[in-house]
Amino acid sequence: MLFALVVALASAIVLLPRKLGPALVVSVAALLVLSSTVAWRGAGSASGDRDRTLGPDRGWVNDALAPNVSVVSLYIPTSCPALSRAVEALLLTEFFNSSVRRGYHAITPDGSLLPSPPARVAPDGTLLLESGQAVSVEYLLTLPGLDFEGQAVTTGTTVGLTLWKVDGDVRIRKAGRATDLPRLACASGPS
């Protein structure tokens, strides 16, 4: 509908006599007000979604760490209702926290345009790259319910994302393959 209105106004500029110029200016101004109203409502809705996903503290990862520390995220697809906003929470946390610099995905990518190399889980729970090399990090950000060798530092977002201090190869307890990860995450849901 909005597109049709724009085409009609553009055609009117070309086809109508110049004496109708003021009417066209008023029409264009009305169109701008209408489209601004639609955009404003959409932005308010998106902001509310962000707040419902992140909670009150957008910078929770940066707040928990010293400056210049690097955090890696691990995306795991889930279908459990308790973690329905997990992808959004992970991406927003990455956006609002400069310490989250890179991400990996197990099973499937997160659907964003951000690059995330695939990772698989070895029988001993070690997270491996396609090359077979272990993923080695200082800090790892991931879904709740997963138990890593290391220390849980803090949790954040309404989903309960967990920040782990790993300091080396990433090993997931109770997981011998990547398909175990969604089940483990869904078993606990948000903390």
pLDDT tens digits, 80-100: 777 777 778 888 888 888 999
Contact 46, 40 (CB under 8 A): no
Provide the pLDDT for residue 111: 64
Write out pLDDT tens, residues 8-42.
767 776 777 777 767 777 777 777 777 776 665 55
34 and 69 co-located in one domain: no
Structure tokens at 189: 């849901």
96 and 15 co-located in one domain: no
pTM reported for the whole predicted model? 0.69
27 and 116 co-located in one domain: no
Which of 34-38, 153-157, 160-164 comes out lowest in average pLDDT? Answer: 34-38
Contact 170, 143 (CB under 8 A): no
18 and 67 co-located in one domain: no
15 and 104 co-located in one domain: no
- Res. 103: pLDDT tops 70: yes
Q: What distance in Å separates the CA atoms of residue 72 and residue 178, rounded to the nearest whole number? A: 17
Q: Length of the chain, please?
A: 191
103 and 12 co-located in one domain: no
178 and 143 co-located in one domain: yes
49 and 86 co-located in one domain: no
Range of 136's domain? 60-188
Contact 131, 125 (CB under 8 A): no
